[in-house]
Amino acid sequence: AQKVTQAQTEISVVEKEDVTLDCVYETRDTTYYLFWYKQPPSGELVFLIRRNSFDEQNEISGRYSWNFQKSTSSFNFTITASQVVDSAVYFCALWGCTSYGKLTFGQGTILTVHP
């Protein structure tokens, strides 16, 4: 069985602060993919990143960065210099090669960035 845990239900920060969203996963698959999605108030899921299990390189995209550590089964997401527009719900998700194409989502973290 696969599981994704986002222990932080809600995070509140002030603009320009850095914030890290945690994601811990469980899977027995050796081949798997991890995802992060942003869901703004409009509801539409916005794809942020996909990372496969064989690529542990950290990635940076503008103010966003991701830290993938297989040793701790974590795939954390950091927003640097947060902005009000970053306020949204963020979901971490896992796809395993034996999951029949299904994605397992974490519970989501509500991020509120105050001006």
Partner 1 sequence: GAVVSQHPSRVICKSGTSVKIECRSLDFQATTMFWYRQFPKQSLMLMATSNEGSKATYEQGVEKDKFLINHASLTLSTLTVTSAHPEDSSFYICSATGPSSYNEQFFGPGTRLTVL
* For partner 1, the closer CB: 27 or 106: 106
User: Which of 17, 9, 14, 24 is closest to 76 using CA atoms?
Assistant: 24
Map residues 8-47 to x or -, x wherever contact with partner 1 holds by CB under 8 A: -------------------------x-x-x----xxxx-x
Picking from 41, 74, 73, 70, the residue whose alpha carbon sits closest to that of residue 56 is: 70
59 pairs with which residues across the strands?
A: 66
Nearest CA-CA partner of 86 in 55, 54, 59, 111: 111
Query: Scanning residues 86 to 105, which ones bind partner 1 (CB under 8 A)?
Result: 91, 95, 97, 100-103, 105
Q: Which residues bind partner 1 (CB under 8 A)?
A: 33, 35, 37, 42-45, 47, 50, 91, 95, 97, 100-103, 105-108, 110
